[in-house]
Chains A and B, each alone.
Chain A
Amino acid sequence: MPSASDHIVGTGVARTRDRGVVRIIKGVVLLAGAALLVSWPSLAANPYLVSAGVVVLNYAVFASSWNIMGGLTGYISLGHAAYFGLGAYGTALLIQNFDIPSFGAWFLAGLLTLVIAIPVGWAALRVRGASFVIVTIALVLVLALIFQSLRGITGGSDGLIVPRPFPDLLRPEHHATFYYIYAGLLAVVLAVWFVIARSRFGAGLKAIREDEDKAESLGIPTTRYKGIAHALSAYFVALGGGLYALWFGDLDPIMQFSVLLSAEVVLMALLGGVRFLLGPLVGAIIVGTALEYFVLNFGETQLHLVATGILLAVVVLFLPDGVLAGLSELVARFRPQATSIREMTAEELQNQRVSEVRPGSGVDADPTSSERSEQELAPVERSPS
């Protein structure tokens, strides 16, 4: 699984060969997965399964776009449903009121959302941690209220019918067409994430994720970096929302500007693993399928809400790095003679300590000894707020 922070320390021929085998297995799994994704519309037994595929890809685009900011900067936004809704409503309203062709409206709505996201990000990203999460939730709630109350324009809670872009297509072809459009958008989003994650800009974003003040002190313009990541992320979420409007054809403020939608997407990204390129996609497939299953078998109950909550808690507590990280750990465990980075370093560390200590006899070999504890009593430096 390609990952930006996937570092394997190779030692010796055996391990190199081992890595080769793992790489081949990964390649096969990836190819098989890609083949399945691409041929899903023709494999699916009925149109419903194709439309379920569209739903999952919609989630995958949302979660992967969210991950441009969430995964790289560590800012967990529950507000991205706002951009999804803006993209969806923007597309619909531009078609309705200005007679712009469907995909022209879709493109414009993406740009408009980008323009809106820049000042919003500038304001929201001034706060960190829990405060940031609350600001983003507020954003969704405020927009939901606005779009509900502007009945004249948005239709309020009666909903808004979006003209279909391909009026001649029958249902099954309609789903299949949108399936491939979504797949194309997903490919673009993944490519963007991949390029950023490997770049200097991405290194700066990861530094922000790890320690923002430290990053700033090294000369990284953190405000600008966060702002760019946020705007890009919002832009692609909006494009996903716009596609949703064109595909589904019916919008409701409560469904689009929904904190629950945001939360489900964050769950997908966390479950799959935000440090991995394909983490959000894997999470979207798991959670998206589960959500569809729930709705199909139990109807629109609150059950999936409870399930989402429980799963989110489980992931945060037991799988903080997601299933992909869990998988690669599992692979490492079953590999013969595999040494983890930690073990290797611990060993080196030991040597290092011994050599450091040798000159002065009677020195405690543990660098976290008495001297350190005195250090920890010193006043903690706090960031300006």
Chain B
Amino acid sequence: MTATVEPTSPAPATPSVLSTRGLTKSFGGVHAVRDVSVGFLEGKVNGLIGPNGSGKTTFFNMVTGMIKPDSGEVMQGERSITRWAPHRIARLGIGRSFQLCRVFPRLTVLENLLVAVRPTSLASALLGAHHAPTVARAREILARVGIEHLEHAEARDISYGQQKLLELGGVLMADPRIIMLDEPAGGVNPALIERIATLIRELNAEGRTFIVVEHNMDLVMNLCDHIVVFDRGRPIAAGVPAEIQSDPAVLEAYLGV
């Protein structure tokens, strides 16, 4: 736990749909995330950037409950969701993808989506997973991300780019209001990056909030309405893309040693 009184990032003017207060996590001696208080804007595409190892993924994992913070709070609106189990956070309408794309390898593409449906009662839990309306919805989403022709293939047999689309499809199946993507363009070819960017824009236009970690600067600057920059576990800047691009602290973090 770091009891420092370092300045944190400026509080955003508009109310945050998701925010943190003094979020901190270390692994042994590594201070992965240090006293981070940031907020993300509702209905916007929020960017989260920073050099390798600056704590972005750790931050994501704490916000989604996958890692328990050492200290600090995660707030959804005015409600603290700190230390909630990940599935409860998911059920609040917060979906996420993983940096190293994660799908269910030995389930089919279609089944990968069907598992994301939450039963509401014992009867609905025992209902066939291939319930017709659910399958129809899953197919719609597969068509939307452009892999409907792979429906019956096992997820381990499709390409990495297709797996990325599949992972996004699985996240969409739960109809989240907030979507957190950890490097959506990582490891995929330029044509696919364009497709993913278009999807994000469309989904955002439907009113879904995005929080996107990404190393591809062109993509970040094009896509994001507001950006937070991490360096060595803490935010060093926040603002619109133009501000970030000319921020001396950001330039130093990326270029300097």
Structural contact, B189 and A345, CB atoms closer than 8 A: no
User: Chain B 90-120, CB within 8 Å of chain A: the 1/0 string?
Assistant: 1100011011101111111001001111110
CB distance from B191 to the nearest CB of A (A): 5
Q: Are B129 and A202 in contact (CB under 8 A)?
A: yes
Q: How far is the CA of A357 from the CA of B161 in the complex (A)?
A: 12
Complexed CA–CA distance, A342 and B125 (Å): 31
- A200 and B119 contacting across the interface, CB-CB below 8 Å: yes
In the bound complex, how far is the Cα of B161 from the Cα of A376, in angstroms?
Answer: 14
Q: What mask results when residues 205 to 231 of chain B are scored 1 for a CB within 8 Å of chain A, else 0?
A: 000000000000000000000000000
Q: Are B87 and A345 in contact (CB under 8 A)?
A: no
Given the interface pairs A363-B191, A381-B57, the reply to whether A199 lies near B153 with Cβ below 8 Å is: no
Among B67, B86, B102, B162, contact of A211 (Cβ-Cβ < 8 Å): B102
Indicate if B66 sits at the interface (CB-CB under 8 A): yes
Beyond A216-B87, A217-B86, A346-B157, whether A378 also contacts B99 by CB under 8 A is: yes
Contact A345:B157 (CB < 8 A) given known A5-B106, A381-B61: yes
Q: Give every chain A residue within 8 A of B61 (Cβ-Cβ).
A: 381
Chain A residues with CB under 8 Å of B157's CB are 341-342, 345-346, 349
Residues of A within 8 A of B91 (CB): 219
Interface size on A, residues (CB 8 A): 56
Count contacts on B: residues with CB < 8 A to the other chain.
Answer: 63
Interface contact B150-A348, CB-CB below 8 Å? yes
Cα-based distance from A378 to B85 in the complex (angstroms): 26
Q: Does A360 contact B (CB under 8 A)?
A: yes
- In this complex, which of B100, B187, B188 has the most chain A Cβ atoms within 10 angstroms of its Cβ? B187
Contact A368 B160 (CB under 8 A): yes
In the complex, are the beta carbons of B189 and A360 less than 8 A apart?
A: yes
Say which residue of A218, A345, A378, A383 sits within 8 Å of B115 (CB atoms). A218
Known A5-B106, A5-B107, A207-B104; judge A341-B154 contact (CB<8 A): yes
Chain B residues with Cβ under 8 A from A367's Cβ?
159-161, 187-189, 192
| Also in contact, A379 and B53, with CB within 8 A (given A201-B125, A384-B66) | yes
Q: Which of A327-385 contact B (CB under 8 A)?
A: 341-342, 344-346, 348-349, 352-353, 356-360, 363-364, 367-368, 371-372, 374-376, 378-381, 383-384
CB distance from A106 to the nearest CB of B (A): 26
B86 — nearest CB in chain A belongs to which residue?
A216
**Contact indicator A356/B192 (Cβ below 8 Å):** yes
Assuming the A-B contacts A341-B153, A375-B186, are A356 and B86 also in contact, with contact meaning beta carbons closer than 8 angstroms in the complex?
no
In the assembled complex, which residues on chain A have CB atoms less than 8 Å from the CB atom of B96? 217
B160 shortest CB reach to chain A, Å: 5
Contacting pair B152 A7 (CB below 8 A): yes
Within A207-234, which residues are at the interface with B (CB < 8 Å)? 207, 210-211, 213-223
CB-nearest residue of chain B to A351: B149
Question: Is A198 an interface residue, CB under 8 A from the partner?
Answer: yes
Q: Which of A344, A345, A364 has the most CB of B within 10 A?
A: A345
Nearest A residue to B131 by beta-carbon distance? A200
Asked if A381 meets B107 with Cβ closer than 8 Å, knowing A221-B85, A363-B191, the reply is no
- A200 partner, pick from B102, B127, B162, B183, beta carbons under 8 A: B127
| B191 close to A360 (CB less than 8 A) | yes
Q: Which residues of B contact A306 (CB under 8 A)?
A: none
Q: How many A-B residue pairs have CB under 8 A?
A: 176
A378 CB contact (under 8 Å) in B95, B100, B160: B100
Tell me whether A206 is interfacial, beta carbon within 8 Å. Answer: yes
- A-side contacts of B98, CB under 8 Å: 214, 217, 381
Are B159 and A219 in contact (CB-based, < 8 A)?
no
Contact, CB under 8 Å: B66 / A217: yes
Closest beta carbon of chain A to B189's beta carbon, Å: 6
Q: Tell me if A296 is interfacial: C-beta within 8 Å of chain B.
A: no
Task: Name the CB-closest residue of B to A214.
Answer: B102
Q: Are B57 and A214 in contact (CB under 8 A)?
A: no
Give, as a whole number of angstroms, the nearest-CB distance from B92 to chain A: 9
**Residues from 298 to 350 in A contacting B, C-beta threshold 8 Å:** 341-342, 344-346, 348-349
For A210, the chain B residues whose CB sits under 8 A away are 104-107
Verify if A9 is at the interface (C-beta below 8 Å from B): yes
Is B174 an interface residue when CB atoms closer than 8 A count as contact?
yes
Q: Which residues of B contact A342 (CB under 8 A)?
A: 157
- Complex interface: chain A residues within 8 A of B22 (CB): none
A203 at the interface (CB under 8 A from B): yes
Q: Does the CB pair A199–B125 fall under 8 Å?
A: yes
For residue B158, which residues in chain A have a CB less than 8 angstroms away from its CB? 345, 349
Inter-subunit contact B170/A200 (CB<8 Å): no
Q: How far is the CA of A206 from the CA of B98 in the complex (A)?
A: 19
Min CB gap B215→A, angstroms:
9
Set of chain B residues within 8 Å of A219, measured between Cβ atoms: 87, 90-91, 116, 118, 174
Residues of B within 8 A of A360 (CB): 189-191
Q: Is the CB of A218 within 8 A of B174?
A: yes
20 A-B contacts (beta carbon < 8 Å):
A7-B108, A195-B126, A199-B127, A199-B128, A200-B117, A200-B128, A201-B126, A203-B129, A206-B107, A216-B87, A216-B90, A218-B116, A221-B87, A341-B154, A345-B157, A356-B161, A358-B191, A371-B187, A378-B183, A379-B53
The chain B residues found within 8 Å of chain A, CB to CB, are 52-53, 57, 61, 64, 66-68, 85-87, 90-91, 95-96, 98-100, 102-108, 111, 114-119, 124-131, 149-150, 152-154, 157-162, 170-171, 173-174, 183, 186-192
